[in-house]
Chains A and B, each alone.
Chain A
């Protein structure tokens, strides 16, 4: 069977000593930053992006994706043990996980969190294979106009479905598109928005933008609050879950996986909303909902499964269509572009070792994570005593050195500082940075596709409605936009946003 050949190829790539090392490094770093509050996968991946330059693309993506899904594991550890979510997606795990820990069942909670994460991670990875392969072969038939329409849909959906104000999210897409224009226009050779600086002729580098937007501004946001971190010394107890715990967690894990897989594929939504929805569903389905918040094991299993499934399935549109649905996925896509891989449905055909190698590494990474998280849990918790005042200067160092090293140019470091200022101001004004980065990444591809489509149709705009695929995507985008103008739906979304925020605090 063909699929077996693919897996043989994939595991062959992923099990090479070098890639195994990068996979291990990725999940190790992911666990580490998952445990540390204030340092998330976005900051870490953007910080390490410049260093992955020059690695083979498959190793770069294996490591960066390991950081992403590894962080979902690590986030639950501190949520359970110290009631402090390492990642926002673990916020709901605090509710019942910490209560279990207080009742002396920390070990069982940790084990169930790791096991349900593992199951969800594996199912999510299988879903990438099951959905990704047909999706990519379907997308191979797309014309330039269909591609353009698909990117419009991706950007609109990411703005509409994401947390917060839709108009601001859309505006950020436009700002991202404009930033993507900086540099030499490929068609006419005219330099746009370069202010006469030769360093800008190639555009504002992806890593410069990512580091400034996510790492620098995030550090400043964290410095606004005074840090309050308690040193933790508590006995974890037996890690073996009881048989009834496993039985009680089985169905919630599967339901959480289903919810997470759904939200993971959708652009604009991700692990946070998945774990929140999974928790709410379990509470509704439970015979005795009052147990929730008192240490119900389902309240740990379902959200942990959901956030890991979402982290995994988010790769589907990114790897198969070249359309990232979230900021983290935009960074992964950027890493591919930086290393010379043209993203899109052709990746699977042209770089099979990349696609299948990354898939195989996810199985390996998920297994490594269980091994890393359970026996070493005491070590991770001790990391919490590292004060932020030691961490953030080191983050700044990585940002500075990483950006300098790409072109050996100090201008990149100066630009990064400027983008950090812009990123901070935008964050304070509640303008989400993710759509900006999505717009920046997709902008050049959109411009190329719309130009190609209009060149083929000789300037006839009706090409976008004549192709049924393009028409469907554009209609869906329009429906999404119009639906947000309806007061009932807008109020519903505002309520979900509020509940999500309440759940996170």
Chain B
């Protein structure tokens, strides 16, 4: 059975390794290599990047030989929503304060679930905001404003 390269688990992994290795090597060219006695900052990065490329080639070839398709679909939407929730949280915490940041985090990340009930998420946000304020702001005494306006 022929599987497309884009569904081939090992071929994709091999490509990813080769890409990461090539990137690592290219950047490491800017660091001094040194000698074995006196290793420069570029010694390990370059060797490791080359090993990574090597493993990538092996994995890629193995993928071409026995096709193992990626199991299950890709959950791109949940992945995007969770990342967005984290980004929004980081962005809003410093500008609007803890409570609005948590509000954004819960409403965006909860969208990633199979069911989304606005009222339920609202209650969850309220409960967890109180909890977070109690533990982090009053308990651990972290200097976060609950509400703020810094733009």
Chain A interface residues (CB < 8 Å from chain B): 51, 54, 165, 167-168, 170-171, 174-175, 177-178, 181, 185, 187-188, 190, 192-193, 216, 219-221, 223-227, 388-390, 392-394, 396-397, 399-401, 404-405, 408, 410-411, 413-414, 416-418, 420-421, 424-426, 428-431, 447, 451, 454-455, 458-459, 461
B1 an interface residue at 8 Å Cβ cutoff? no
Are A393 and B90 CB-contacts (below 8 A) given A192-B45, A421-B83? no
Q: How far is it, in angstroms, between the C-alpha of A451 and the C-alpha of B43 when the chains are bound?
A: 11
CB within 8 Å of A: which of B116-134?
Answer: 116, 120-121, 124, 128, 132
B124-A167 in contact (CB<8A) = no
A residues near B44, Cβ cutoff 8 Å: 177, 181, 447
A171-B55 in contact (CB<8A) = yes
Kindly supply a per-residue 1/0 record for chain B positions 79-103, scoring 1 wherever the CB is within 8 Å of any chain A CB and 0 otherwise. 1001101110111011000000010
In addition to A178-B48, A178-B49, A389-B114, 9 A-B residue pairs with Cβ atoms within 8 Å of each other are A170-B55, A181-B45, A188-B41, A192-B28, A410-B90, A414-B86, A416-B86, A429-B13, A454-B39
A394-B87 in contact (CB<8A) = no
Are A430 and B136 CB-contacts (below 8 A) given A171-B59, A393-B109, A420-B86? no
Q: How far is it, in angstroms, between the C-alpha of A451 and the C-alpha of B41 when the chains are bound?
A: 11
B45-A413 in contact (CB<8A) = no
A224-B110 in contact (CB<8A) = no
B residues near A190, Cβ cutoff 8 Å: 31-32, 41
A168-B13 in contact (CB<8A) = yes
A389-B113 in contact (CB<8A) = yes
A59 to chain B, nearest CB (A): 14
User: A459: which of B10, B36, B71, B109 is its contact (CB, 8 Å)?
Assistant: B36
B45-A178 in contact (CB<8A) = yes
A212 to chain B, nearest CB (A): 9
B residues near A224, Cβ cutoff 8 Å: 72-73, 75, 78
Residue of A193, A417, A421, A424 ringed by the most chain B CB atoms within 10 A: A417
A residues near B40, Cβ cutoff 8 Å: 188
**Range class of the B interface residue count:** 35 or more
Are A429 and B51 CB-contacts (below 8 A) given A389-B115, A420-B86? no
Q: Tell me the interface secondary structure of chain A in the complex.
A: helix
User: B37: which of A188, A392, A455 is its contact (CB, 8 Å)?
Assistant: A455
A388-B16 in contact (CB<8A) = no
B70 an interface residue at 8 Å Cβ cutoff? yes
B residues near A431, Cβ cutoff 8 Å: 13
15 contacts between A and B (CB under 8 A): A181-B44, A187-B41, A192-B31, A220-B78, A220-B79, A224-B78, A226-B114, A389-B110, A393-B106, A396-B85, A410-B90, A420-B82, A421-B83, A428-B71, A459-B38
Are A413 and B87 CB-contacts (below 8 A) given A170-B55, A178-B24, A220-B75? yes
B45-A171 in contact (CB<8A) = no
B residues near A425, Cβ cutoff 8 Å: 16
A306 to chain B, nearest CB (A): 28
User: B105: which of A185, A219, A226, A393 is its contact (CB, 8 Å)?
Assistant: A393
A167-B114 in contact (CB<8A) = no
A175 to chain B, nearest CB (A): 7
Are A396 and B124 CB-contacts (below 8 A) given A220-B79, A389-B110, A429-B12? no
Are A400 and B113 CB-contacts (below 8 A) given A421-B83, A429-B70? no
User: Which 6 pairs from chain A and chain B are nearest by CB?
Assistant: A459-B37, A410-B90, A413-B90, A389-B113, A417-B86, A429-B13
A189 to chain B, nearest CB (A): 8
A392-B113 in contact (CB<8A) = yes
Q: How far is it, in angstroms, between the C-alpha of A396 and the C-alpha of B125 when the chains are bound?
A: 12
B27 an interface residue at 8 Å Cβ cutoff? yes
B56 to chain A, nearest CB (A): 7
A417-B93 in contact (CB<8A) = no
B residues near A428, Cβ cutoff 8 Å: 9, 70-72, 74
Q: How far is it, in angstroms, between the C-alpha of A221 and the C-alpha of B82 when the chains are bound?
A: 12
Q: How far is it, in angstroms, between the C-alpha of A174 and the C-alpha of B49 when the chains are bound?
A: 8
